[in-house]
Amino acid sequence: MIELLTPTQVEEMRPAGRFVASVLTRLAEEADVGVNLLDLDALAHDLIREAGAESCYIDYAPSFGRGPFGKVLCTSVNDAVLHGLPHKYVLRDGDLLSLDFAAKLEGWVCDSAVSLVVGSAAPQDEALIATCQEALDAAIAVARPGNKTGDLSAAIGAVAHAHGHGVNTQFGGHGVGRTMHGDPHVANDGNAGRGYPLRPGLVIAIEPWLLQSTDVIRFDDDGWTIRSGDGSRGAHVEHTIAITDGDPIVLTTRS
């Protein structure tokens, strides 16, 4: 079911968006050489408690996972790109880290992700992250009434292909609101002019993710962590946005 929110309800989502953005900002600041992924997850736990928020991940048990997830943060490192289950791993110089975080505050959910390099960054890693961000910006730019979800997909795919990347469409963006995952699905490649019409009040998470040299993925034995099929690195960025009569509202903008 696709729910269209009223302008008042969209405004009610802003605190959740600000909270999710603030947590990702704090986690990105804390991520450094020598930091354990479990410590980042523990920090996210503390920030959730302090805000009186709820985790969207800890009890999450979809059909594709081996759930419940059991943590409040996704930490994907290097060739891991999505749903990275925090574990006892100490970050090293040059690691490419993707942080994905969703939480419910005051009854509303927002979802966002950021990728960064810990310590010294290799040019190809910086370029991969920049391409993901360019793809996200391109999709947000066409997130207007009168367009369709396929226009978002096509915008993401065009950027990815222009930079020489294949695109895996098994996982992508999604509706957000009272729950973390809802309709419509927003693939990271597709055909413009197709799909669900973008209408004011539609709130969606747009999340381009790319792998350096493949579009093939594999799952870790933990049932969650998704890695590239060839060992190349991945990056992932995401914002929750609301469609309006004019420009979209990016609810998870980070300062």
Find how far residue 212's CA is from the centre of its chain.
Answer: 18
CA distance 174 to 181: 6
Residues at the binding site for substrate are: 83, 181
pLDDT in tens, 210-237: 999 999 999 999 999 999 999 999 999 9
| pLDDT higher than 90, residue 65 | no
- For residue 58 the two structure tokens come to 């800890």
SS3 label, residue 182:
strand
Segment 50-77 shows an average pLDDT of 93
Find how far residue 95's CA is from the centre of its chain.
Answer: 19
In a domain, 42, yes or no: yes
In a domain, 1, yes or no: no
Does this model's pTM top 0.95? yes
- % helix / strand / coil in the chain, to the nearest 5? 30, 25, 45
In a domain, 229, yes or no: yes
Tell me what pLDDT residue 66 has: 81
CATH number of the domain enclosing 94: 3.90.230.10
Torsion angle (degrees, nearest 10) of CA 38, 126, 110, 244: 180
Number of domains in the chain: 1
In a domain, 255, yes or no: no
Segment 20-48 shows an average pLDDT of 98
In a domain, 56, yes or no: yes
In a domain, 33, yes or no: yes
Tell me what pLDDT residue 63 has: 82
Output phi, psi for 41, to 5 deg.
-65, -40
In a domain, 198, yes or no: yes
CA distance 46 to 49: 5
Residues at the binding site are: 83, 100, 111, 174, 181, 207, 238
Segment 64-71 shows an average pLDDT of 88
| pLDDT higher than 90, residue 64 | no
In a domain, 230, yes or no: yes
Residues at the binding site for a divalent metal cation are: 100, 111, 174, 207, 238
Tell me what pLDDT residue 2 has: 93
Tell me what pLDDT residue 67 has: 79
How many CB atoms are closer than 10 A to CB 3?
15
Domain extent at residue 98: 7-250
Calculate the average pLDDT of the chain: 97
Q: Tell me the angle at which helices 123-141 and 149-162 cross, rounded to the nearest 10 degrees.
A: 150
